[in-house]
Amino acid sequence: MRAVIVAAFVAFALTMALTPLAAKLFRRLKAGQPIRTDGPQTHLAKAGTPTMGGVVFIFTTVLAYISGHLVLMALPERVNGVTFNRPTGFTATGIVLIGLFVTCGFVGFIDDWLKIRRKHSGGISGRAKVLGLTIAATAFGFLAVYYTGSIDSKEISETVATPYLSFTSDIGPNITKIGMVLLIVLLVNATANGVNLTDGLDGLATGASMMAFLAFMIIGFWEYRHWCGGAQPADNLCYNVRDPLELALIAGAAAGAMFGFLWWNTSPAQIFMGDSGSLSLGALIAGLAFASKTILLLPIIGALFVITTASVMIQVTSFKLTGRRVFRMSPIQHHFELAGWSEVTIVVRFWIIAGIGVAIALGFFFADFLRIAG
């Protein structure tokens, strides 16, 4: 747990320190966020606010992840006669998750850069964005499903993801490895775009993502404490997850980075995360669900992202079929803006919804453990 706490604190401290420096640099470079003219008129006052803040917390999360491994290397392997089976070096799980995080962030960075260069809210096309995310997700999927690698120079047979659907562990059916790769591509795209759509108000996506990462940090650490590959005996109370401590480490680092970024991103935001931030966060959240074998918990942990995405789908479908709009504007947070709610009110209430989703998901996770234990 010490390594996870250190990683989270390092990410928080670095993000707190570097974000205002990045905001000043981006402001000098005139890297301001173009504002849609057809959106809520109150947003026009945000024109020129520096964007691409995601670059900062991607960088700090990676550094924090490395610092967590330095702590693991320094910790004793035996305490009071008990040997702890924990990896000290970088693992396949860590490498593929960080790779997914960074590459999807790069796709978002290109989108942000084009918006700034063109001084227009439209960056790369929707198809190009989907293509970039699909390439990154496909690479992650094949590595997660087919690559085994080693832990501390010891060859193992487990992969990061399995061809089975999962809730709190694998529950079946076997959808084949190719089927799992396709599911990974679908859910990475869906979650990345869900966070991207949610990122419309100051601090909204940041706070909701932080809650999701905290949930995966708890899940990862619990799986490590009851790990079939750890010091505990292999029985039906253990989790057959490849590198659960890595999951807690990465999720903790990401949560710490979000906590630090929120200080500067809350209303009135001094910097926006941009697509470089939202796409990377959504992709990492989806990746953690596959690696922790909690695929079917993902829509509950990311309930706010699901609601936001659904509001857009409902709006578009209704308009195409009937010519009428269900909401004043989509995503749904803008509907409430036009209804007269203040931005802070919307953000706090949506955070509550996100927190309820996380609480329900963790409730299912621990209830299933108690069911098996009983």
Q: Does the CA dihedral 63-64-67-69 come out positive or negative?
A: negative
Structure confidence at residue 233 (pLDDT) = 45
Structure confidence at residue 124 (pLDDT) = 85
DSSP for residue 297: G
Structure confidence at residue 88 (pLDDT) = 64
Q: Is 72 exposed, middle or buried (0-12, 13-18, 19+ CB in 10 A)?
A: buried
Distance between CA atoms of residues 111 and 127, nearest Å: 12
pLDDT tens-digit profile of 61-86?
Answer: 999 999 998 887 776 554 444 455 66
Structure confidence at residue 200 (pLDDT) = 85
Q: How confident is the model at residue 232 (pLDDT cuts 50, 70, 90)?
A: very low
Q: Is 62 exposed, middle or buried (0-12, 13-18, 19+ CB in 10 A)?
A: middle
| Residue of 347, 205, 215, 358 lying closest to 281 (CA atoms) | 205
Structure confidence at residue 31 (pLDDT) = 79
Q: What is the dihedral of CA 3, 305, 108, 243, to 10 degrees?
A: 30
Position 155 pLDDT exceeds 90: no
Q: How confident is the model at residue 261 (pLDDT cuts 50, 70, 90)?
A: very high
| Residue of 174, 160, 173 lying closest to 241 (CA atoms) | 160
Q: Does the CA dihedral 246-250-255-257 come out positive or negative?
A: positive
Helices and strands (H and E) in the chain: how many? 12, 6
Q: How far is CA 164 from the centre of its chain?
A: 22
pLDDT tens-digit profile of 338-369?
Answer: 999 999 999 999 999 999 999 999 999 999 98
